[in-house]
Amino acid sequence: MELNRRTVIAGAAAAGVAATALGGTAEAAQGRKPVKELFGTLADGTKVYRWSLQNGGTRLKVLSYGGIVQTLELPDRHGRYANVVAGFDNIADYEAKSPYFGALIGRYGNRIGKGRFTLDGTSYQLSVNDGDNSLHGGAKGFDKHVWDVEPFTKGSDVGLHLYYTSVDGEMGYPGTLRTKVTYTLTRHGDWRIDYEATTDKATVVNLTSHVYWNLAGEGSGTIEDHELTIAAARYTPTDSGLIPTGELAKVAGTPFDFRHAKPIGRDIRAGHEQQVQAKGYDHNWVLDKGITARPEHIATLRDPRSGRTLKIATNEPGLQFYSGNFLDGTLTGTGGRTYRQGDALCLETQHFPDSPNHANFPSTVLRPGRTYRTTTVHTFGR
């Protein structure tokens, strides 16, 4: 029987036994001030700190480097905790070889073809770091900078405000972009991300989070038995460089149809041309709801072994589902196990890849005097 986590927490708190219901301490249910510790030192001598938060039965550890979610621990149906995100146990690996594990992505999440776009009649050449294309902000995107971190408690919520200013011309992008990202753990154990940004010159921006999920537990093996639902009747096919062609294709009758829950592995080897060139799933789904004023539910991920579930709500128009295709056994995670192809997956809420080069895609342009705002909420269950 699947438990409603919010009901469990509320009832247990009323009885004064919330910690027992979740298999943790009273502080795990009530939340407490985030704790800061030194995590390591970058090659240039910069110190990197780790912040530990817990609330509503969710435990989260975040690095000042890249805003990285290093671990996120959840109970299974029996109350046993496990870390459900991929990552490293040391800063050297994050700095030298991380495939964006757990990181904040900017200025532009996903790919921009040839690293070029034109805005208001001016052409811009971005840092190219993925063949001929710019990926996740270029060679030194937001994931490779140390952010200023400010902890907070607000009512029954706990969290972190993260700040980074990207100067005009950084990685080829116009305008000085002042960015604030807020991580909040609610009393229910939800993890909420609020993104904000302003600019002094017209630019493009598309921020996201690049967490790699395995709800059975980090390093436990394949995610192909995870069941996924995505509320999208269309997706954006790509060329051989994984750049959208501009088409909004129907998922009906293809392996890309996740409108009803199905195991990820069911169709992953179906031989569809799009899967062959991406080595699995690495595409943007066009969410049925479009851009919304408030976050709306758009995806559910469930691990039948542990009973853990993840529900995602966002006001963004797209979701990039990446099935861990390029994990190749050369990276060792926090639990001492290597990550192989399909051992973790990403569900990145976003605007569409290469939007600046497709007039039919929702715009990612941000102008002076306007504030970029978007929110994604992760709700966990078992």
Catalytic residues: 210, 348
In order, the DSSP letters of 289-347 are T-S-SS-EEEEEEE-TTT--EEEEEESSSEEEEE--TT--S-EE-TTS-EE-TTS-BEE
Tell me how far CA of residue 37 lies from CA of 21, 50, 52, in angstroms. Answer: 29, 5, 8
Structure tokens that stand for 199 in this block: 């600019």
For the CA atoms of 351, 352, 353, 357, what is the dihedral angle to 10 degrees?
-100
Contact 331, 89 (CB under 8 A): no
- CA-CA distance, 144 to 146, in Å (whole number)? 7
DSSP 22-56: HTS-HHHHH----EEEEEEE-TTS-EEEEEEEEET
CA of 26: how far to CAs of 53, 58, 155, 244, in Å? 14, 12, 16, 48
- Return the SS3 of 81: strand
Three-state helix/strand/coil letters over 333-366: CCCCCEECCCCCEEEEEECCCCHHHCCCCCCCEE
Task: Report the phi/psi class of residue 2: left, alpha or beta, with left for phi > 0 and alpha for psi in -120 to 50.
Answer: beta
d(CA 360, CA 238): 15
Q: What is the dihedral of CA 315, 230, 137, 332, to 10 degrees?
A: 130
Q: Which residues sit opposite 285 in a β-bridge?
A: 235, 319
- Cα 214–Cα 219–Cα 223 angle in degrees, nearest 5: 35
